A and B are shown apart, each in its own frame.
Chain A
Amino acid sequence: MTNNTVGSTARVLGAGLRALLVLTLVCGVAYPLAVTGAAQALFHDRANGSEIKDPHGRVVGSSLIGQRYDLPPKDGEEAPAADLRWFQPRPSNGLGTNSVNTQYALLLSGATNRSGDNEELIRWVKDARAAVVKDNTTATYEVNPADVPPDAVTSSGSGLDPHISPAYAKLQVHRVADRNGLDVRKVRALVADHTTGRLLGFLGEPRVNVLELNTALRGLTEHS
């Protein structure tokens, strides 16, 4: 390699580096700051995570992020038991575990990535189905295993799915009414109020936001 080609290689590499730095200022500083400014001005609540509050004004989470509704964990228990007073979300068997940077108890997302013929997934689905049937059968209402919808026994992609299908919500109505000493019709009406249809009739799937539903349910139990 002659000095000339070394020199021209260095020149073009220098140009590459300068181009990168300049464009980093444009795309990595100016752009995100401009978008953040506009987003905070125009859509303040949504840009900050769509938090929702209960009737007392306490923040109970985000309408977009699914939560667990469990009893306080008992000693020696591997996983806390579901608090059956509240509507239950989808399973989330694939959430990440806080690792390298574990000083945080951070909200993590994640899927199980199990295939349809995976033994573990088959067992999870069977166990979840049996639990859904058992938990939701009350003295006056028996769950037919064939009525358990797929979302009730499978983990979502994010593990943070805020929704369940209307079928799964409907299946939980008797249990929730029973545990809270509420009239079944009242709970059923509450579910109907919190069911979202497809946008414009064809976008997405009908669904029920579990946190919003449970927040409204808590309001109902506190008033009665």
Chain B
Amino acid sequence: MSPQAAGLLQLTALIAALALACRPLGDHMAKVYSSDKHSRPEKWIYRAIGVNPAAEMRWPSYLRGVLAFSAASVLFLYLLQRIQGSMPGSLGFSSIDPDQAFNTAASFVANTNWQSYSGEQAMGHVVQTGGLAVQNFLSAAVGMAVAVALVRGFARSRTGELGNFWADLVRGTVRVLLPISVIGALVLVACGAIQNFSGIHQVGQFTGGTQEWNGGAVASQEAIKELGTNGGGYFNANSAHPFENPNPLSNLFEIFLILLIPFALTRTFGRMAGSLRQGYAILGAMAVIWIGFTALMMWTEFAHRGPAFEIAGGAMEGKETRFGIAGSSIFAVATTLTSTGAVNSFHSSYTGFGGGITLLGMQLGEIAPGGVGSGLYGMLIMAVIAVFIAGLMVGRTPEYLGKKIGTRQIKLAACYILVTPALVLGFTAVAVALPAPADSMTNSGAHGFSEILYAYTSGANNNGSAFAGLDADTPWFNTTIGIAILLGRFLPMVFVLALAGSLAEQRPVPETAGTLRTDKPLYAGLLVGTILIITGLTYFPALALGPLAEGLAS
């Protein structure tokens, strides 16, 4: 079988597995977020937090919960890294410098997992397992909570109430993320991912002498790293490291985990909004973009244009033998179209166009299918923009799911889609104009520009993958990327929750013959077009200077 055909079969198997899993999981999540029952352990947790999980919150209180919880998390994770050097369980590693500790704390709390450190030689057991991996769960649960609050905004009427943040946070963690992670971690161990606390120890090697391994709770971190679309690797090489991703089966399984919740949430949305077909329209738009990007990526990587790859006879630089071109391409697209940023191959060594596809995937706003929670709310914002554009074309007041999209709603949606491009392009422009940041580049010319554009795109969109030639462990990059990460995560959440509040207050508009049918393929097509045009217009000039210039020159 040719590698291309095997790659298509892998993609087909992945689609089949997702199709089977998304229905039950989507329905389960709809139940989790609609139920008014609390399990006994959950009641203990609420008592420890000191909150009443049944108290409904309007959007400002919901937002205060999100921000307070995240602020506490950033502070805790920052301090944990700062005192690592004097803590037991740290493998003798020293404390992390303030700028890097801030960057890492912001990054993991914001579901980004940008890493300017090298895992195996910087972070001990306590920080990895008790700090970083914990945020893999909690940042994902926060994303899901905000998405569910927006869905409630569409589903509820004549109330400003969006649910209880603490209940959503706890339920998402213990009823969705934890059970799947336990199973996922054990599957990964069965494939060969390590799971021990043996620390740094010596192992014999073939030519005599020994090598030193850094053991750790790798599989348990790996499972939630993919499932929660986080992406922060235990090791420097991330999911390319054989102890994180040992074989082709674990590879496909990790891609499956990345895409599972984001796709399943469309079903949850359909259930909670009272029309499964509305969920399918969103799912269709996501799937079309994802499959299209994957096909393009396979095409350009198999074609291996670029001087070094043509001499080598294939684009295998930065890719593992066991995954090959296809298994690497499918992973690269899944990780950049979600907010994951885990890598099983190094995007900086992709072909010019291949690197461009990873960049564009993030620039779409990571909505196809997007991060856990953030993918759904990002896509629903685009859905609002799409009905607005359609409304302008036919001259009717736009509505979506029975809610009027008026001035306030469209202002909030517009603010949402302006935040990340402003951060990405602004910071990139400043970094390129200043003399010092450019010293961090490994490659020169168009690719060097792409390294910086990639860094801010990845940070502001909360992805976390990198054109890792860039030496990002400098005070400049640690600080500015950290700021881009925080603003790129929490400002959009403000607009989403404000929008949710304004929608929940409305009374529903009755559907008429003139209402745009947003549960039809035609609308899904309009949505895809809207996304591509808005992103294209925003980022085309920057992409032309980077990956397009590199791709066309090779």
Interface positions of A (Cβ within 8 A of B): 9, 12-20, 22-24, 26-29, 31-32, 34-36, 38-40, 42-43, 46-51, 58-62, 64-70, 83, 86, 90, 94, 96, 98-101, 103-118, 121-122, 125-126, 129, 148-151, 153-165, 198-199, 201-205, 207, 211, 214-215, 218
Residues on B with C-beta less than 8 A from A70 are 207
A105 adjacent to B212 (CB under 8 Å): yes
From B276-284, B290-298, B305-313, B531-539, the one touching the partner chain is B305-313
In the bound complex, what is the Cα–Cα distance between A115 and B321 (angstroms)? Answer: 19
In the bound complex, what is the Cα–Cα distance between A17 and B169 (angstroms)? Answer: 13
B205 adjacent to A114 (CB under 8 Å): no
With contacts A23-B173, A43-B190, A49-B213 taken as known, whether A13 is within 8 angstroms of B178 at the C-beta atoms is no
In the bound complex, what is the Cα–Cα distance between A199 and B252 (angstroms)? Answer: 11
B71 adjacent to A13 (CB under 8 Å): yes
A101 adjacent to B121 (CB under 8 Å): yes
> Please, which residue of chain B has its CB at the minimum distance from the CB of A99?
B121
B212 adjacent to A107 (CB under 8 Å): yes
With contacts A36-B217, A114-B443, A161-B320 taken as known, whether A122 is within 8 angstroms of B173 at the C-beta atoms is no
From B345-353, B398-406, B481-489, B495-503, the one touching the partner chain is B345-353
Cβ 8 A contact of B242, one of A16, A60, A160, A214: A160
**17 further contact pairs, Cβ within 8 A, besides A20-B73, A61-B211:** A16-B68, A27-B224, A42-B186, A48-B194, A50-B192, A100-B121, A107-B214, A108-B120, A110-B236, A113-B469, A118-B443, A157-B343, A157-B346, A161-B320, A163-B321, A202-B1, A218-B206
For the side of the interface on B, what is the size category? 35 or more
> Please, which residue of chain A has its CB at the minimum distance from the CB of B119?
A109
B121 adjacent to A104 (CB under 8 Å): yes
From B2-10, B149-157, B258-266, B388-396, the one touching the partner chain is B2-10
Q: Which B157-215 residues have C-beta < 8 A from chain A?
A: 166, 169-170, 173-174, 178, 181-182, 185-186, 189-198, 200, 203-207, 211-215
Q: Mark B116-151, 1 if CB is under 8 A from A, else 0.
A: 001011100000011101100110000000000000
From B21-29, B322-330, B358-366, B371-379, the one touching the partner chain is B322-330
With contacts A26-B173, A51-B203, A65-B243 taken as known, whether A12 is within 8 angstroms of B1 at the C-beta atoms is no
Interface positions of B (Cβ within 8 A of A): 1, 3, 5-6, 9-10, 13, 45, 48-51, 64-65, 68-73, 76, 92-94, 118, 120-122, 129-131, 133-134, 137-138, 166, 169-170, 173-174, 178, 181-182, 185-186, 189-198, 200, 203-207, 211-215, 217, 219-221, 224, 235-237, 240-243, 246-249, 251-252, 305-309, 311-324, 327-328, 343-346, 348-349, 351-352, 355, 442-443, 445, 447, 467-469, 550, 553-554
A90 adjacent to B321 (CB under 8 Å): yes
Residues on B with C-beta less than 8 A from A202 are 1, 5-6, 9-10, 13
In the bound complex, what is the Cα–Cα distance between A73 and B169 (angstroms)? Answer: 56
With contacts A65-B242, A116-B307, A202-B13 taken as known, whether A106 is within 8 angstroms of B322 at the C-beta atoms is no
A48 adjacent to B92 (CB under 8 Å): no
In the bound complex, what is the Cα–Cα distance between A18 and B307 (angstroms)? Answer: 55
A157 adjacent to B352 (CB under 8 Å): no
Residues on B with C-beta less than 8 A from A110 are 118, 236-237
B189 adjacent to A19 (CB under 8 Å): no
A48 adjacent to B133 (CB under 8 Å): no
A150 adjacent to B316 (CB under 8 Å): yes
Complex A-B, nearest 8 residue pairs according to Cβ-Cβ distance, in ascending order: A116-B306, A204-B248, A150-B314, A157-B240, A109-B237, A205-B324, A113-B469, A16-B68
In the bound complex, what is the Cα–Cα distance between A59 and B196 (angstroms)? Answer: 18
Chain B CB within 10 Å, residue with most, of A12, A32, A34, A39: A32
In the bound complex, what is the Cα–Cα distance between A41 and B182 (angstroms)? Answer: 15
B203 adjacent to A46 (CB under 8 Å): no
> Please, which residue of chain A has its CB at the minimum distance from the CB of B70?
A16
A46 adjacent to B190 (CB under 8 Å): yes
> Please, which residue of chain B has its CB at the minimum distance from the CB of A98?
B121
Residues on A with C-beta less than 8 A from B553 are 117
B204 adjacent to A27 (CB under 8 Å): no
> Distance (Å) between the CB of A201 and the closest chain B CB?
7
Cβ 8 A contact of A204, one of B71, B122, B207, B322: B322
B186 adjacent to A39 (CB under 8 Å): yes
In the bound complex, what is the Cα–Cα distance between A199 and B445 (angstroms)? Answer: 41
B236 adjacent to A96 (CB under 8 Å): yes
B318 adjacent to A20 (CB under 8 Å): no
B206 adjacent to A214 (CB under 8 Å): yes
Residues on B with C-beta less than 8 A from A16 are 65, 68-73
> Distance (Å) between the CB of A158 and the closest chain B CB?
4
A39 adjacent to B189 (CB under 8 Å): yes
Residues on A with C-beta less than 8 A from B311 are 122, 125-126, 129, 153
Residues on B with C-beta less than 8 A from A62 are 203, 213, 242
With contacts A159-B237, A162-B242 taken as known, whether A116 is within 8 angstroms of B220 at the C-beta atoms is no
In the bound complex, what is the Cα–Cα distance between A40 and B190 (angstroms)? Answer: 11
In the bound complex, what is the Cα–Cα distance between A29 and B419 (angstroms)? Answer: 36
With contacts A115-B443, A121-B308, A202-B9 taken as known, whether A163 is within 8 angstroms of B322 at the C-beta atoms is yes
In the bound complex, what is the Cα–Cα distance between A171 and B328 (angstroms)? Answer: 25
A40 adjacent to B182 (CB under 8 Å): no
With contacts A69-B206, A100-B122, A148-B313 taken as known, whether A117 is within 8 angstroms of B554 at the C-beta atoms is yes
In the bound complex, what is the Cα–Cα distance between A207 and B319 (angstroms)? Answer: 14
A27 adjacent to B1 (CB under 8 Å): no
Residues on A with C-beta less than 8 A from B196 are 36, 39-40, 47-49
With contacts A111-B318, A202-B1 taken as known, whether A28 is within 8 angstroms of B306 at the C-beta atoms is no
Residues on B with C-beta less than 8 A from A47 are 189, 194-196, 219
Residues on B with C-beta less than 8 A from A26 are 45, 173-174, 178
In the bound complex, what is the Cα–Cα distance between A188 and B133 (angstroms)? Answer: 46
With contacts A22-B45, A113-B442, A116-B305 taken as known, whether A106 is within 8 angstroms of B120 at the C-beta atoms is yes
Residues on B with C-beta less than 8 A from A109 are 120, 235-237, 240-241
A207 adjacent to B205 (CB under 8 Å): no
Residues on B with C-beta less than 8 A from A66 are 242
A29 adjacent to B130 (CB under 8 Å): yes
With contacts A32-B217, A36-B196, A100-B94 taken as known, whether A27 is within 8 angstroms of B138 at the C-beta atoms is yes
A106 adjacent to B321 (CB under 8 Å): no
A117 adjacent to B249 (CB under 8 Å): no
In the bound complex, what is the Cα–Cα distance between A111 and B185 (angstroms)? Answer: 25
> Distance (Å) between the CB of B342 and the closest chain A CB?
12
